[in-house]
Every structure is written in C-alpha cells, then in structure tokens.
C-alpha cells in the first residue's frame, strides 16, 4: 500500500509529512473526534474527487494557527489512545471461525448492532437502538457476552507513526501561527 504526503509551504520553507494508509485510516475510527477535525483543518479532501483522487497541483491554504490547533488536538488524541491504536484486531464468536476484517450483525442484551473491525486499529459494536444509540469500544476487552455467545477479541501489534510525525510538524507550525500556509497533498507516494 502506498503512502500519502502533505507538503506545508511558508515561502521558501517547507515541511513534508509522509503518512501510511493505515495511519490515515486511524483518523476515521468511531469516536475519534480529533481525526476528522485534523482532516478538515488540513483540507485533505477539499480538492478530492472519486473519479480522480487528489488532482496534481491542487493546493489548500490555511493559517498556521488553524493547522497548529488541529495538529495539537490530534497529537493529544493519539497519545491518549496509543495503546489501543497500535494493534489490529480480530474476533471469534463462540465456535465460529476467527474473523480478521469486515463486520457482521450481532445482538447484545437483546439490542441489535453491527460488529466492525474497520478501520484497522478499531474493533467496536455500534448498537442500532434509536432510543439509545451507542458504540461499544471492544479494543480494551478480551471477552464480551453477546446474544450469539461469547465474543473473544484478539489483537496483533501493528505499526503507527503518528507520534513520530506530529512533534516535528508542531514545531514547524509553532513559529508560523499568524502566517497563511500553502498545503499540497500528494496521493500514492511510494
């Protein structure tokens, strides 16, 4: 899987962040509010189209302060959840085969829900009750009782690079709070 890169320019100075597909996907996990805020602040999908992806040469402009606030928030969220985000998850219900991806319908205490392993780094049940919608984060659990039997959660270490990427980015942005910066997003960097 290829990486993506974002180049933040301030005149002749620039800072490049190269991010793996898995790391990007971690930002869109259920209940991780800092991720979508970062994606929005950096304008990741501002010029994106389904047919063409991110067009070459497309640029986004933001103030250093906007980027710094979003980056600082993301850094705090990643540090808070790091012990959960650094794993990929799988599960097994009763005697069924172990599952490594996707999701399925499941009941918990008579409430219908969807068990999901998407994106990588997450494992949750979204209960579909209209009166009390709820997301159960399964990542810190080993076993949970469901209407179909015991659900066992397994985890396997995986790489995440956000804690190496964000501190240098914060340093670059800290001295440019009042400046308008130009961002170029490049998809498919090898």
pLDDT in tens, 134-163: 999 999 999 999 999 999 999 999 999 999
Q: Whose structure tokens read 């790489």?
A: 159
Query: Residue 73 in contact with residue 38, Cβ under 8 Å?
Result: yes
Query: Residue 113 in contact with residue 124, Cβ under 8 Å?
Result: no
CA distances from 10 to 13, 48, 58, 121, 179 (A): 5, 23, 16, 34, 8
Query: Residue 5 in contact with residue 16, Cβ under 8 Å?
Result: yes
- Radius of gyration over every alpha carbon of the chain, rounded to an integer in angstroms: 19
What is the percent of the chain where pLDDT is above 70?
98
pLDDT at 173 over 90: yes
Give pLDDT, residue 47.
75
The pTM for the full model equals 0.91
Is 96 in a helix, a strand, or coil?
coil
Q: What's the pLDDT band for 133 if we cut at 50, 70, 90?
A: confident
pLDDT at 52 over 90: no
Helices 34-41, 64-85: axis angle to 10 degrees equals 150
Give pLDDT, residue 153.
97
Q: How many CB atoms lie within 10 A of CB 167?
A: 12
Give pLDDT, residue 90.
97
| Tens-digit pLDDT profile for residues 56-92 | 778 999 999 999 999 999 999 999 999 999 999 999 9
Average pLDDT, the chain: 93
Q: Which run of H or E residues covers position 184?
A: strand 180-189
Arch. (CATH architecture) of 3-85+159-189: 3-Layer(aba) Sandwich (3.40)
Handedness of CA 20, 40, 129, 83 (dihedral sign): positive
pLDDT at 1 over 60: no
Residue 159 to residue 17: CA distance in whole angstroms: 16
Q: Can the peptide bond before residue 110 be classed as cis, meaning omega within 30 degrees of 0?
A: no
Handedness of CA 36, 2, 140, 91 (dihedral sign): positive
pLDDT at 48 over 80: no
Q: Whose structure tokens read 């985000």?
A: 85
User: Which ranges in the chain are annotated with CATH 3.40.1760?
Assistant: 3-85+159-189
pLDDT at 10 over 80: yes
């Amino acid at each position: 899987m290829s990486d993506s890169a974002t180049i933040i320019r301030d005149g002749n100075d620039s800072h490049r962040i190269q991010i793996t597909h898995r790391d990007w996907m971690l930002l869109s996990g259920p209940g991780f509010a800092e991720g979508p805020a970062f994606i929005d602040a950096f304008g990741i999908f501002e010029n994106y189209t389904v047919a063409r992806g991110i067009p070459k040469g497309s640029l986004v402009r933001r103030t250093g302060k906007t980027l710094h606030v979003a980056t600082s928030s993301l850094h705090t969220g990643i540090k808070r959840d790091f012990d959960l985000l650094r794993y990929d998850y799988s599960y097994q219900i009763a005697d069924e085969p172990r599952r490594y991806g996707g999701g399925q319908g499941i009941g918990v205490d008579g409430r219908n829900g969807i068990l999901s392993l998407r994106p990588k780094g997450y494992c949750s049940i979204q209960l579909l009750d209209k009166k009390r919608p709820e997301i159960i984060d399964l990542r810190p659990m080993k076993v949970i009782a469901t209407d179909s039997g015991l659900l066992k959660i397994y985890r396997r270490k995986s790489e995440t690079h956000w804690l190496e990427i964000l501190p240098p980015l914060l340093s670059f942005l800290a001295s440019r709070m009042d400046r308008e910066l130009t961002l170029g997003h490049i998809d498919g960097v090898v």
